[in-house]
């Protein structure tokens, strides 16, 4: 090899090592999906950015994992298909833990209790659910409110209208196409404060929790995210974010405070009872 070739090879090797070193210094990315039409969990600001309670929790989880955070905007109706197709690592949108869903995805432990709220016009009467008879209830297609509506439409005698996002259900109420809209209580309470002439006269306690969801083929990631959520509970970050976005601290027995043994929600598919110590950042 000539001196010129030796010199060229040395330079090339140095560049290659420097490039590899640079790559090694880069943090992994946590690609997290949310539908930005569910305030205050995730919504677009006037500037076009997406913010909200779940976005803040997702960023805090990524920080605990030592990863960069990348938000993937995904319409709710396609969010589960997007996870299964590998378009992102985790769903951080408010997903309610259910037995049916746990058969096809691996949930973390819960981070927020679930309830549904009815949004109506301010002058509407909804003293009890019997008042829904003969009325139209608007829901976000495929959401847990849609599931509840399907299970209770015959019992209370109301008709279901489905929309692609929660703000559209609220618009259906304002325009008179629907008597009430049904979605997560936090979202409906937020919309009622932002849109004049609306109120939340009734809520339904589902007795469950929201959780992050990953593919069941990736139990290591689920366990790491689960541990990160536990760290946010332990150091008070989750409770502080709850107060920031909902205006009050979580109850002492709330999923936002209580740490669940093992990985995932107890009693559901893909739960792992393995005990573990917390090593938090």
Residue linked to tokens 């309470």: 189
Nearest 5°: phi and psi at 111?
A: -125, -5
CA nearest neighbour of 237 among 47, 68, 60 = 60
Structure tokens at 137: 């209830």
> How confident is the model over 34-68, as pLDDT tens digits?
999 999 999 999 999 999 999 999 999 999 999 99
- For residue range 211-256, what is the model confidence (pLDDT) as tens digits? 999 999 999 999 999 999 999 999 999 999 999 998 889 989 999 9
In angstroms, rounded to a whole number, what is the distance separating the alpha carbons of residues 143 and 237?
A: 27
Cα–Cα distance for residue pair 135/52, rounded to 1 Å = 32
Please state, in angstroms and rounded to a whole number, the distance separating the CA atoms of residues 211 and 229: 10
Q: What are the start-end ranges of the H helices in 77-218?
A: 79-84, 99-102, 144-156, 166-175, 185-194
Phi, psi of 3 (to 5 degrees): -60, -35
Q: What is the CA radius of gyration of the chain?
A: 23
Report helix, strand or coil for 128: coil
For position 248, what pLDDT does the model report?
84
Give the model's pLDDT for residue 5: 39
Fold that domain 114-206 belongs to in CATH: D-Maltodextrin-Binding Protein; domain 2 (3.40.190)
CATH 3.40.190.10 in the chain, residue ranges: 26-113+208-246, 114-206
Report phi then psi at 206, rounded to 5.
-85, -10
Looking at residue 26, its pLDDT comes to 56
Angstrom CA distances, 137 to 75, 140, 170, stand at 21, 10, 10
Query: Which regions of the chain are under pLDDT 50?
Result: 1-25
Angle separating helix axes 237-246 and 219-234, nearest 10 degrees: 80
For residue 168, give both structure tokens: 């559209």
| Residue 138, beta-bridge partner list | 161, 181
CATH fold of 26-113+208-246: D-Maltodextrin-Binding Protein; domain 2 (3.40.190)
Q: In the prediction, which pLDDT does 30 show?
A: 98
């Amino acid at each position: 090899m000539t001196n010129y070739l030796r010199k060229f090879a040395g330079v090339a090797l140095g560049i290659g090592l420097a490039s590899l070193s640079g790559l090694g210094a880069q943090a992994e990315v946590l690609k997290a999906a949310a539908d930005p039409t569910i305030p205050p969990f995730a919504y677009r600001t006037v500037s076009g950015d997406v913010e909200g309670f779940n976005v803040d929790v997702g960023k805090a989880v990524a920080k605990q994992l030592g990863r960069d955070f990348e938000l993937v905007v995904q319409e709710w109706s396609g969010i589960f298909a997007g996870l299964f197709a590998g378009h992102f690592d985790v769903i951080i949108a408010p997903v309610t833990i259910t037995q049916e869903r746990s058969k096809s995805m691996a949930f973390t432990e819960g981070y927020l209790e679930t309830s549904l709220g009815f949004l109506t016009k301010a002058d509407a009467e909804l003293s009890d659910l019997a008042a829904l008879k003969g009325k139209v209830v608007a829901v976000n297609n495929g959401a847990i409110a849609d599931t509840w509506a399907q299970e209770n439409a015959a019992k209370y005698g109301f008709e279901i209208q489905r929309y692609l996002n929660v703000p559209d259900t609220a618009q259906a109420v304002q325009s008179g196409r629907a008597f009430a809209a049904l979605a997560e209580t936090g979202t409906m309470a937020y919309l009622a404060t932002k849109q004049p002439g609306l109120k939340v006269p009734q809520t339904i306690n589902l007795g469950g929790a929201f959780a992050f969801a990953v593919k069941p083929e990736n139990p290591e990631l689920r366990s790491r995210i689960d541990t990160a959520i536990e760290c946010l509970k332990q150091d008070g970050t989750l409770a502080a974010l709850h107060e920031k976005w909902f205006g009050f601290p979580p109850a002492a027995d709330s999923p936002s405070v209580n740490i669940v043994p093992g990985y995932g929600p107890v009693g559901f598919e893909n739960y792992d009872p393995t005990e573990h110590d917390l090593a938090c950042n």
